[in-house]
Each structure stands twice: as C-alpha cells, then as structure tokens.
Amino acid sequence: MSQRMHVLFVRTDRLGDVLLNLPAIAALHRAWPAARLTMLVHPDVAPLLAFVPEIDALVIEPVDARAWWRRSLSWSRRLRMAQFDVAIISNPKREYHLAVWLAGIPQRIGYDRKWGGLLTARLPDRKHLGLQHEVEANMELLRPLGVDGIAPSWRFPQLPRQQDEARVLLQQAGLSASGPFIVVHPWTSNPLKQWPLDRFRQLIDRLIEQAGKPIVLIGGKAEAAQLPRALSLRSEVINLVGRLTLPQLAGLLQCAERLISNDSGPVHLAAAVGLPTVVLFGAAVEATGPRRWGPWGSGHVVIERGVITDIAVQDVLEAVAQPSRVLDAAPLPSRR
C-alpha cells in the first residue's frame, strides 16, 4: 500500500480518552511517514493537540443541535471534499460511521456497533471487559492497515513557552522558590471514583508538614467555582484551579516532581509528559479500572480499592515517600 495516504482519525470525547490514542497515532506515523494525518476532535482538547508533531491537521467537531442524521449529511460533504483514503473511528458513533460512508472514504475502520456495518473493517468491541489497556486496544485499530505490534514509546513534546507561562502563574500565586513541587488534582467526572475532598485536604496538610515541598492545586473552571465551599486550603497551597489552559497545564506538569490525582484526564497528560503519578482508583469494575485506564508507562503508582473511601491518607503518603515499596499498587499491563 502506498504511503501517500490521507488518513482521518476520529476521537471526539474527553482529554484522557484522546491522549490514550496518541501512541497509536505515533505508530501509524512511523509506519507511514509520508501519510497526512488529520484528527477530528472535541474543541476543548484541540489547543493541546496542536502541539503533537504526528498530527498534520485538526478538524474541530462542530457544535450542531440538529438531528444526528442531518449532522452526518453535513459532515460527509466536508469529508468528501478533503478526499480521505482512510478513516479510523476510535470512539464509535453512528453519525461518524454514516458520515464516512456517505463521504465515500475507501477504507473505514472501527468497531462492530452503532451502525458498524457501514465500515469496511470492523473489530469486536471488547473494551467493556477491561482485559487490556486502552492504549493496547487502540493499537488494534491499525491492524487492518498492516500496522501491528506493541505501542511505541511516546512522549508529549516539551513546551518551553508554556513552561515559562506556568512558572509566571506560580509566582503570581505565591510560589517564590524554583525547586520541586507536587501537583494535586482532587477531582474526577465519576462520583464513584471521587476520593473524599476532606481526605485530599488532610493529605495536602500532611504533605506540607512532612514532604516540605510546595503543593500546587489544579482543576478546571467548574471546580474553581465550587472550590471555596468544597475544599478549605492552607495559605501555603498554590491554587491554580481554573487558571491554566491545557497547553499551560502540560507545561506545568513538565516542571513538576509528581502528580497525585483521582482517575482523570490530567493523569494521562502527566503520563504523556513523563511525570510520575500516584493515582487513586475505586469502584471495582473492570471496564473502569486501572487495567484499562491506568497511567500508561513506568514510574506510576496505582492504589486501588473496591470502594475508594477505603484508601487511607497514609496509603497515599507512603506512595509519595517510597513508591517502590507500595505493595498494594494495582498491577498494570506489561509494557513489553
């Protein structure tokens, strides 16, 4: 097959989901270095993906309140004009499957549900079983193109300007020293995965007393609105909740020593930039557990309990102080 191909890669959901597709995109780029790769993404994550060198162009998923089939008709006209050779649908939706079929894209790869019959190559969707990591599952989408094997080692590129911007924000928020700091992200979109905020407050207090390093709190604008009533902070905490763009968050994490978080998008961004993490998992369901959604790579500690409230503050402190000695870290898939 000629490498002079125009490939559309579709992943339009949240930050972590998108980031866990980037090793597959890197593998495709290595196999087909002359191909042009366009990615269809949600507008919230587009500013971050603009820095990924393997992606040649971004298409922003439009905000469209019309019926799904009308959206498909509209998208198909735009896709037909772009003359794609291959479409890879990583998050199955019937409107995407219909759109790439109507656009006449010759190779259409995805999963065998939600009108998957319109695809030319359909993989059984077994992700809900939680038997493999999301990165490994995404790599399987490349098999119909002859790209096989394990996910390549991949790191998000260094962002010097965003690192400088993050340092300025740290200084403005009261961090005067230039030494190592720990980032804490105490939020998650799934209530069953939310470690109690009061435990996070206790953890932060003890980290300040025992680790002797600055603590930087991060979160989105929605968390910033609820922060005053949700989490009382000591004056020593550097509060950047709601103040960072995604590229600035990447820059901040590239300067940090470690991230402590619930299962969330920033965990996968930290893993992508090579920052060690301590991640708290609850809700013992394979489809949402660390075997599928744990941080990808080495240097991470996952603390898992069937009920997340069974994780004690001391468990997290030990993981931060001596990560290699945490015996209850959940086993993650081999990175081979």
Tens digits of residue pLDDT in 166-181: 999 999 998 877 789 9
pLDDT confidence band for 56 (50 / 70 / 90): very high
pTM exceeds cut of 0.85: yes
Outline which parts of the chain fall under CATH 3.40.50.2000. 6-145, 160-325
CATH (residue range 160-325): 3.40.50.2000
CA angle at residue 136 from 20 to 289, to 5 degrees? 70
Tens digits of residue pLDDT in 194-243: 999 999 999 999 999 988 889 999 999 888 887 766 677 777 899 999 99
Return all residues near 130 (Cβ < 8 A) that are at least 6 apart.
285, 286, 287, 288, 289, 291, 292
Give yes or no for a contact between 306 and 289, defined as CB atoms under 8 angstroms apart: no
pLDDT at 229: 64
Tens digits of residue pLDDT in 134-147: 999 999 999 999 99
Tens digits of residue pLDDT in 236-264: 899 999 999 999 999 999 999 999 999 99
Class of domain 6-145: alpha beta
pLDDT at 322: 77
Mean pLDDT of the residues in the chain: 90
pLDDT at 328: 42
CA torsion sign for 37, 38, 40, 45 is: positive
Mean pLDDT of the region 152-176: 93
pLDDT at 284: 66
| Burial category of 314 from C-beta neighbours within 10 Å (exposed 0-12, middle 13-18, buried 19 and up) | exposed
161 pLDDT exceeds 90? yes
Strand (E) or helix (H) holding 187: none
